[in-house]
């Protein structure tokens, strides 16, 4: 079989044009700022709903576990959404609080486990997302065997599974967003080849703004990669890193001192306004989902809440700076 590495530049950029979502107007889209539900637990807020209210947010990305449970936004307990009636009841509770679920976060390893079980798990996640009114399901790009399998095998494994999922969920208004996560997922060739092979407007990226920098790419190249992937963006994760100045334009080992240099969004090397300009130019109209992993370094719930508030204010100020 002809190597997927030989996909021409014309094919890659042609696919990008096909998958891009056109902007409704020339002005910047009205983005919603959202947050992962993982940051709304009782170690920070009295309840997730209280946390959203304190932050002034009404949009959340929710983790869907393999047992089809999600965080209840009133109690922070896990509740089942496996059945349609359960998912509809969860949606009604969201609506009652004026909260919108923008995306479901899932994790599946296509190199492990049973093929049918993996496919059906994500198929059902898409169906649940459709009931909840979520626009995207985040797909994890990490695989246990990613360093054992060759490039074409890994691309075909992902593309074949995702193509089947898209076929089984035809008609659902929900996109699949592969996150650039881990060693394999932050490989531009890997992602672009999957998009080109599947060739569906319902497949794109959960574009993480910090993970390519984590992977070791120089800062200038990070913006270049984000520019290439922005037309595929179906969802986002915003995080930041503040590396020493002499390391910012160097190629670093993957994950180099991340725990030490992960930081609040406003303090990092990655310019949020510049990233938003890239997303605007690509026509992205989804939400801007905050995923500041340095919040875990805060010692008290008050410090965690204050940092989340600063992140929220930073995102709003960055959006305003585009106008």
Residue 20 has pLDDT above 70, yes or no: no
Residues 48-70, mean pLDDT to the nearest whole number = 98
pLDDT band at 278 (very low <50, low <70, confident <90, very high): very high
pLDDT band at 17 (very low <50, low <70, confident <90, very high): very low
* 6 assigned to some structural domain: no
Residues 180-206, mean pLDDT to the nearest whole number = 96
Q: In the numeric block, which tokens belong to residue 307? A: 């940092």
Work out the number of other CB atoms within 10 angstroms of the CB of residue 263. Answer: 20
Q: How far apart are alpha carbons 81 and 91 in whole angstroms?
A: 10
Return mean pLDDT, the chain.
Answer: 92
Stronger pLDDT, 206 or 145, i.e. the higher one:
206
- Among 221, 266, 220, which residue's Cα sits nearest to residue 241? 266
* 95 assigned to some structural domain: yes
Residues 249-265, mean pLDDT to the nearest whole number = 97
Domain enclosing residue 203, as ranges = 27-321
Residue 16 has pLDDT above 60, yes or no: no
Residue 287 has pLDDT above 70, yes or no: yes
Residues 269-277, mean pLDDT to the nearest whole number = 98
Residue 4 has pLDDT above 90, yes or no: no
The 3-class SS string of the chain reads CCCHHHCCHHHHHHHHHHHCCCCCCCCCCCCCEEEEHHHHCCCCCCCHHHHHHHHCCCEEEEECCCCCEEECCCCCCEEECCCHHHHHHHHHHHHHCCCEEEEEECCCCCCCCCHHHHHHHHHHHHHHHHHHCCCEEEECCCCCCCCCCCHHHHHHHHHHHHHHHHHHCCCCCCEEEEECCHHHHCCHHHHHHHHHHHCCCCEEEEEECCHHHHHCCCHHHHHHHHHHHHHHEEEEEECEECCCHHHCCCCCCCCCCHHHHEECHHHCCCCHHHHHHHHHHCCCCCCEEECCHHHHHCCCHHHHHHHHHHHHHHHHHHHHHCC
pLDDT band at 23 (very low <50, low <70, confident <90, very high): very low
Domain count for the chain: 1
* 55 assigned to some structural domain: yes
Residue 291 has pLDDT above 60, yes or no: yes
Residues 48-60, mean pLDDT to the nearest whole number = 98
pLDDT at residue 27, rounded to an integer: 53
Residue 13 has pLDDT above 70, yes or no: no
Residues 134-140, mean pLDDT to the nearest whole number = 97
Task: Say if CB 104 and CB 128 are below 8 A apart.
Answer: yes
Q: How far apart are alpha carbons 11 and 171 in whole angstroms?
A: 26
Task: Say if CB 315 and CB 265 are below 8 A apart.
Answer: yes
pLDDT at residue 25, rounded to an integer: 39
* 4 assigned to some structural domain: no
pLDDT at residue 154, rounded to an integer: 95
pLDDT band at 5 (very low <50, low <70, confident <90, very high): very low
Domain with 248 in it: what CATH number?
3.20.20.150
* 21 assigned to some structural domain: no
pLDDT at residue 9, rounded to an integer: 40
- Among 11, 95, 29, 9, which residue's Cα sits nearest to residue 278? 29
* 3 assigned to some structural domain: no
Which region among 96-100, 144-148, 301-305 has the lowest average model confidence (pLDDT)? Answer: 144-148
Residue 190 has pLDDT above 70, yes or no: yes
Residue 28 has pLDDT above 80, yes or no: no
pLDDT at residue 146, rounded to an integer: 86
* 1 assigned to some structural domain: no
pLDDT band at 147 (very low <50, low <70, confident <90, very high): confident
* Beta strands 262-263; 240-241: pairing state: antiparallel
pLDDT at residue 113, rounded to an integer: 87
* 5 assigned to some structural domain: no
Measured CA distances, 243 to 180, 196, 284 (Å): 20, 34, 28
């Amino acid at each position: 079989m002809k190597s997927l590495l030989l996909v021409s530049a014309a094919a890659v950029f042609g696919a990008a044009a096909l998958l891009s979502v056109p902007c409704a107007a020339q002005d910047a889209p009205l983005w919603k700022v959202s947050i992962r539900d993982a940051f709304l637990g009782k170690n920070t807020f009295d309840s997730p709903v209280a946390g959203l209210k304190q932050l002034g947010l009404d949009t959340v990305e929710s983790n869907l576990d393999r047992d089809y449970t999600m965080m209840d936004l009133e109690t922070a307990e896990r509740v089942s959404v496996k059945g349609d009636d359960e998912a509809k009841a969860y949606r009604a509770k969201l609506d009652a609080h004026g909260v919108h679920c923008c995306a479901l976060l899932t994790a599946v390893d296509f190199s492990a486990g049973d093929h049918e079980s993996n496919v059906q798990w994500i198929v059902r996640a898409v169906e649940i997302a459709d009931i909840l009114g979520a626009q995207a399901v985040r797909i994890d790009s990490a695989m246990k065997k990613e360093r054992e399998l060759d490039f074409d095998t890994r691309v075909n494994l992902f593309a074949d599974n995702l193509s089947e999922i898209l076929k089984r969920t035809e008609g659902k208004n929900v996109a699949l967003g592969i996150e650039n996560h881990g060693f394999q997922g932050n490989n531009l060739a890997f992602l672009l080849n999957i998009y080109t092979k599947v060739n569906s407007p319902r497949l794109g990226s959960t574009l993480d703004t910090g993970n390519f920098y984590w992977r070791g790419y120089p800062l200038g190249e990070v913006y270049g990669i984000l520019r290439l992937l922005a037309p595929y963006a179906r969802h986002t994760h915003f995080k930041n890193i503040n590396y020493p100045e002499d390391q910012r334009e160097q190629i670093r080992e993957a994950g180099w001192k991340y725990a030490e240099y992960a930081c609040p969004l406003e303090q990092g090397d990655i310019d949020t306004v510049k990233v938003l300009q890239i997303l605007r130019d690509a026509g992205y109209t989804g939400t801007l989902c905050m995923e500041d992993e340095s919040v875990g370094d805060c010692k008290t719930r008050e410090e965690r809440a204050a940092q989340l508030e600063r992140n929220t204010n930073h995102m709003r100020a960055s959006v305003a700076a585009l106008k």
